[in-house]
Chains A and B, each alone.
Chain A
Amino acid sequence: MKRSVWLLLILALVIVYPLLFTTPFLQRLGALVLLYAIAASAWNIVGGYAGQVSVGHVVFFGCGAYASMAFFTHFGWPPIAAVPVGMAASVGIAALIGVPTLRLSGHYFSMATIAVAELARLIVTNVEALGAAVGLSGPVMPRTVFDLSFTSALPYYYLFLAVLLVVLGLTYWMENSRIGFYLRAIKDNERAARSLGVQAGRYKLYAYMISAGLTSVAGTLYATMYGFIDPESGLGILTSVKILIMAALGGAGLLFGPLVGAAILVPLEEISNNLLGGKGAGLTFVVYGAIIMIIARFYPSGLLKLLLDRMAAAKPAPSDKQVRDVA
């Protein structure tokens, strides 16, 4: 079957999923998969395509989440109205981290992302206006429909799906335009790319800023659904871990990799939390640590790539002989 037919089929399944599985648990699970797929797809732009591994992406998630809750608390805005604020703050922070480090080896960037995320968490924990250690809440009762406060997960499901489609569409467009080509070239061989006139530092920064802005949207959506944000959920390192592990497990640098990763890990985490309760949280992250090590050691391109390679290997590769003859 052709690729586009497959995609349409999967999209149809995703659209009808919450109508087939109507229990609140399964609908909420579906919405969470889509929410984390948004964040992981956004991470993918800088971590997967540009090859710059952010381990502190939660800071952008937190920007979006905190912007929405803070502007609601202090000015009564509907939470979703703060999306531009969260995006602007995220892009600013991305520049703060990216401008000095993206010129240097990729390790500096990763170290700086951890430090800034931790810095943001410490600052917010000490700022009363941002709820300090307690956190901030959204509207208790929806005032208008714009508060996006629903008891059912169904509306969130479709909202998240729409946003995910936009993020994936943007990624697809990027993949096929000059910036996408340049990012892959930089990831493969930065020195060679620069010799061909690619302004590597600048393109990596663009990717990081786009990624940051989109991640903050995921943060806003999270806060809208939960109606609450605190330093741990909004700025804790574990959220960074979740975002990056979903992209890396599914396939960093592949359009649908993060979605695949989220579809595997979110249900696993929800189920293990339900079975093990509070004790499960520690264990989940032990397992995540092990998965991350195994990906790094054996499958740095992720599961989806593994699957696609298997499928390609099943077909004969006609160009092999030609390659030997000509080159």
Chain B
Amino acid sequence: MLLEAIDVTKTFGALTVVNTVSVSLNKGDILGLIGPNGAGKSTFFNCLTGDLMPTSGRVILNGEDVSMMTPEQRAVRGLARSFQVPQTFETMSVLENVMIGAFLRTSDPARARRRAYEVLDLVGLVDVASAVAGSLGTPGRKRLEIARALATDPEILLLDEAMAGLTATEVRQAIELVRKIHQTGMTLVIVEHIMEVIISLAQQVIVFHQGHQIARGTPQEVTRDPAVVTAYLGKRAAANAARGFAGDPA
């Protein structure tokens, strides 16, 4: 077992945003987390990455309990992530952004630079290596975040809505990139709003609704699940309307 979450619960005051959710992943798996906005998937995701500490429950990485560890401690142990709203180092160049990731495994700038170029080559950003990250558009930044995360040589990569805000063509390119990364043996957790993306990528899917896990299984299984159909399609409009008030707590 590479990553395991056991009964993870997260509350903000009186509000329970994630309610006893459990998952487990083996090496090479792709796990998809889906659900409407405000369903708690991003909060659960952030409990896995260490940006939030679970109120109760445990997160196990490679057999070690990391529930109360900070994001940087989890990164050292092989966990890497991207952000829903890109968090690139705006004033640094694309290459330097990726070098920050590579510096986790070496203190030598020359080696970090070599490693960064390798990753940039993989994600197809090598031509803009010297451009300032702030000059990239959304698709470029999302790619850069993935590159930066890969440069830390992680065992598991967590992508938070890596496709949000992309055009149909860009989504296809991004899916291709994720497949390519998976083929290198990477384990992935993907949060997605778009059901179609998850179906084409994930082997295992967990569906969130109002903080609960309402279904799990292969993409085919969960899309046939009646609870999922009501929650995800039937109440989608209602969930979107609620956004204005509650928003996504993460």
Residues of A within 8 A of B (CB): 176-178, 181-182, 184-185, 188-189, 191-200, 319-320, 322-323, 325-327
Are B49 and A195 in contact, CB atoms less than 8 angstroms apart? yes
Complex CA–CA separation, A181 to B101 (angstroms): 10
Q: Place the interface of chain B in its size category.
A: 35 or more
Are B107 and A177 in contact, CB atoms less than 8 angstroms apart? yes
Are B72 and A188 in contact, CB atoms less than 8 angstroms apart? no
- CB-CB under 8 A from A188, the residues of chain B are 89-92
B64 to chain A minimum Cβ distance, whole angstroms, is 16
- CB-CB under 8 A from B128, the residues of chain A are 319, 322-323, 326-327
- CB-CB under 8 A from B104, the residues of chain A are 196-198
B39 to chain A minimum Cβ distance, whole angstroms, is 23
A181-B109, A319-B130 known; A192 and B125 CB under 8 Å? no
- CB-CB under 8 A from A176, the residues of chain B are 109
Are B109 and A177 in contact, CB atoms less than 8 angstroms apart? yes
Residues in B129-151 with C-beta less than 8 Å from chain A: 130-131, 135-137, 139-141, 143, 148-149
A194-B70, A195-B75, A319-B130 known; A327 and B91 CB under 8 Å? no
Are B131 and A184 in contact, CB atoms less than 8 angstroms apart? no
Residues in B82-138 with C-beta less than 8 Å from chain A: 83, 87-92, 96, 99-101, 103-104, 107, 109, 112, 124-125, 127-128, 130-131, 135-137
Q: Within the complex, which residue of B81, B91, B139 is in contact with A195, where a contact is CB–CB below 8 Å? A: B81
Complex CA–CA separation, A188 to B112 (angstroms): 19
Are B136 and A323 in contact, CB atoms less than 8 angstroms apart? yes
Complex CA–CA separation, A65 to B133 (angstroms): 43
- CB-CB under 8 A from A185, the residues of chain B are 89, 92, 100
Are B100 and A196 in contact, CB atoms less than 8 angstroms apart? yes
Q: Within the complex, which residue of A182, A197, A326 is in contact with B140, where a contact is CB–CB below 8 Å? A: A326
B71 within 8 A of A: yes
- CB-CB under 8 A from A189, the residues of chain B are 87-90
Q: Within the complex, which residue of A182, A191, A199 is in contact with B100, where a contact is CB–CB below 8 Å? A: A182
A-B contact number at CB 8 A = 102
Are B107 and A194 in contact, CB atoms less than 8 angstroms apart? no
Q: Enumerate the 5 nearest inter-chain pairs by beta-carbon distance, A residue then B residue, closest first.
A: A327-B140, A197-B75, A192-B87, A188-B89, A197-B104
Are B100 and A198 in contact, CB atoms less than 8 angstroms apart? yes
A24 to chain B minimum Cβ distance, whole angstroms, is 44
Q: Which of A192, A198, A322 is packed against the most chain B CB atoms within 10 Å?
A: A192
Complex CA–CA separation, A194 to B50 (angstroms): 10
Are A327 and B143 in contact, CB atoms less than 8 angstroms apart? yes
B1 to chain A minimum Cβ distance, whole angstroms, is 22
- CB-CB under 8 A from B91, the residues of chain A are 184, 188
Complex CA–CA separation, A182 to B107 (angstroms): 11
B137 to chain A minimum Cβ distance, whole angstroms, is 6
Q: Within the complex, which residue of A192, A199, A327 is in contact with B137, where a contact is CB–CB below 8 Å? A: A327
B241 within 8 A of A: no
Complex CA–CA separation, A176 to B112 (angstroms): 12
User: Quick one: closest A residue to B78, CB to CB?
Assistant: A197
- CB-CB under 8 A from A196, the residues of chain B are 72, 75, 80, 100-101, 104, 148-149, 152
Complex CA–CA separation, A194 to B75 (angstroms): 8
Are B135 and A197 in contact, CB atoms less than 8 angstroms apart? no
Chain B 207-230, CB-CB to A under 8 Å as 1, else 0, gives 000000000000000000000000
Q: Within the complex, which residue of B87, B109, B131, B148 is in contact with A322, where a contact is CB–CB below 8 Å? A: B131
A139 to chain B minimum Cβ distance, whole angstroms, is 45
Are A191 and B87 in contact, CB atoms less than 8 angstroms apart? yes
Q: Within the complex, which residue of B76, B81, B99, B148 is in contact with A181, where a contact is CB–CB below 8 Å? A: B99
- CB-CB under 8 A from B87, the residues of chain A are 189, 191-192, 195
A66 to chain B minimum Cβ distance, whole angstroms, is 36
A selection of 29 A-B contacts at a CB cut-off of 8 Å is A181-B99, A181-B109, A181-B112, A185-B89, A189-B87, A189-B88, A189-B90, A191-B51, A191-B87, A192-B88, A192-B89, A193-B89, A194-B70, A194-B71, A194-B72, A195-B87, A196-B72, A196-B75, A196-B100, A196-B101, A196-B148, A197-B75, A197-B76, A198-B72, A320-B135, A322-B128, A326-B125, A326-B140, A327-B143
User: Quick one: closest A residue to B108, CB to CB?
Assistant: A178
Are B100 and A193 in contact, CB atoms less than 8 angstroms apart? yes
A196 to chain B minimum Cβ distance, whole angstroms, is 5
Complex CA–CA separation, A194 to B148 (angstroms): 12
User: Quick one: closest B residue to A319, CB to CB?
Assistant: B131
- CB-CB under 8 A from A192, the residues of chain B are 83, 87-89, 148
Q: Within the complex, which residue of A193, A198, A323 is in contact with B135, where a contact is CB–CB below 8 Å? A: A323
Complex CA–CA separation, A230 to B135 (angstroms): 51
- CB-CB under 8 A from B152, the residues of chain A are 196-197
Complex CA–CA separation, A192 to B147 (angstroms): 13
User: Quick one: closest B residue to A196, CB to CB?
Assistant: B101
A318 to chain B minimum Cβ distance, whole angstroms, is 10
Are B72 and A327 in contact, CB atoms less than 8 angstroms apart? no
User: Quick one: closest A residue to B106, CB to CB?
Assistant: A178
A194-B72, A198-B72, A319-B131 known; A178 and B140 CB under 8 Å? no
Complex CA–CA separation, A322 to B51 (angstroms): 35
Complex CA–CA separation, A326 to B104 (angstroms): 27
Are A327 and B139 in contact, CB atoms less than 8 angstroms apart? yes
